[in-house]
């Protein structure tokens, strides 16, 4: 029996209309949809896709992706997820593992994807619209022009803050737990006035902040800050 294939598919940042045609086709054709689940019962990615493709008509595999920096806990979860996918591939089933945004940008699905490749299975990455591109569009500004460089930083990691001193525009992702500290770092460098943030871009509860002094320090995990070196223009 021919083994199945894994497709790690980006579904965009939240607006279901930003799903690519390829993502829709693969979701319609696949045998199984793998759904990422965090530490609560909400299946955000599934809710987005369901507006375009009815996933409840598909076989589903829920893969737990714990929201932690404990490497042991993460490694165990990724290994279990990979083993569960492998069991389906061995049955000749093609699996689409959906992920918010793009699977190449800070996506948890990439760890399962890499394990499948290491184990000798066929796996393909399918890009999606990135969250920071959607945020830039929501703010109605460009990410970068002409010679301007762009830095994409994980805001919850303190080592990222040193890159704020580099010339160019910055995207700060995954900042929610450290949002107040990130704001303080921007203030300290006198660039807070050059920053804007979108929370839950394209999702229910979307909020846009052009003044980061107004943000809730308990902002959603889906919060992205754009810092423009020359200001929001």
For 121-151, write each residue's pLDDT tens digit: 999 999 999 999 999 999 999 999 999 999 9
How far apart are alpha carbons 11 and 31 in whole angstroms?
Answer: 18
Residue 216's pLDDT band, with cuts at 50, 70 and 90, is confident
Residue 177's pLDDT band, with cuts at 50, 70 and 90, is confident
In whole angstroms, how large is the CA radius of gyration of the chain?
A: 19
pLDDT at residue number 175:
77
How far apart are alpha carbons 154 and 49 in whole angstroms?
Answer: 26
pLDDT at residue number 16:
94
Across the beta sheet with 223-227, the strand order is 150-154, 169-173, 223-227, 195-199, 207-209
CB–CB of 109/97 below 8 Å? yes
- Does the pLDDT at position 68 exceed 80? no
Residue 181's pLDDT band, with cuts at 50, 70 and 90, is confident
CB–CB of 12/48 below 8 Å? yes
- Does the pLDDT at position 43 exceed 90? no
Range in 70-79, 89-98, 181-190, 218-227 the model is least confident about: 218-227
pLDDT at residue number 111:
95
How far apart are alpha carbons 102 and 69 in whole angstroms?
Answer: 21
Cα angle 156, 157, 162; round to 5: 120
Domains of the chain: 6-126 (3.40.1010.10), 131-227 (3.30.950.10)
pLDDT at residue number 125:
98
How far apart are alpha carbons 128 and 84 in whole angstroms?
Answer: 24
pLDDT at residue number 230:
85
Q: How many CB atoms lie within 10 A of CB 98?
A: 29
CA distances (Å), origin 55, targets 32, 34, 59, 113: 9, 10, 8, 21
Strands (E), 89-194: 95-99, 123-126, 150-154, 169-173
Total number of residues shown for the chain:
233
- Does the pLDDT at position 152 exceed 80? yes
Residue 18's pLDDT band, with cuts at 50, 70 and 90, is very high
Q: Which two tokens stand for residue 209?
A: 């902040």
Average pLDDT of the segment spanning 148-169: 88
Cα angle 206, 105, 126; round to 5: 100
| pTM of the predicted model as reported, rounded to 2 decimal places | 0.89
Sign, Cα dihedral of 73, 116, 156, 11: negative
């Amino acid at each position: 029996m021919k083994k199945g294939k894994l497709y790690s598919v980006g579904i965009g940042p939240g607006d279901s209309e930003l799903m690519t045609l390829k993502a829709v086709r693969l979701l319609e054709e696949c045998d199984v949809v793998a759904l990422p689940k965090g530490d609560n019962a909400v299946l955000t990615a599934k809710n987005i896709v369901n507006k375009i493709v009815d996933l409840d008509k598909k076989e589903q595999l829920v893969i737990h992706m714990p929201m932690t920096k404990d490497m042991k806990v993460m490694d165990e979860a990724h290994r279990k997820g990979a083993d569960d996918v492998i069991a389906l591939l061995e049955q000749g089933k093609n699996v689409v593992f959906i992920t918010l945004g793009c699977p190449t940008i800070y996506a948890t699905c990439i760890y399962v994807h890499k394990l499948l490749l290491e184990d000798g299975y066929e796996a393909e990455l399918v890009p999606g619209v990135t969250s920071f591109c959607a945020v830039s569009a929501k703010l109605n500004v460009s990410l970068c022009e002409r010679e301007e460089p762009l830095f994409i930083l994980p805001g919850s990691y303190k080592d990222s803050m040193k890159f704020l001193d580099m010339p160019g525009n910055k995207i700060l992702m995954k900042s929610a737990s450290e949002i107040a500290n990130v704001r303080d770092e921007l203030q300290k460098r006198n660039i807070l006035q050059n920053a804007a943030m979108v929370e839950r871009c394209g999702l229910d509860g979307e909020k846009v902040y052009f003044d980061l002094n107004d943000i809730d320090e308990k902002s959603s995990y889906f919060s992205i800050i754009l810092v423009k070196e020359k200001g929001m223009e």
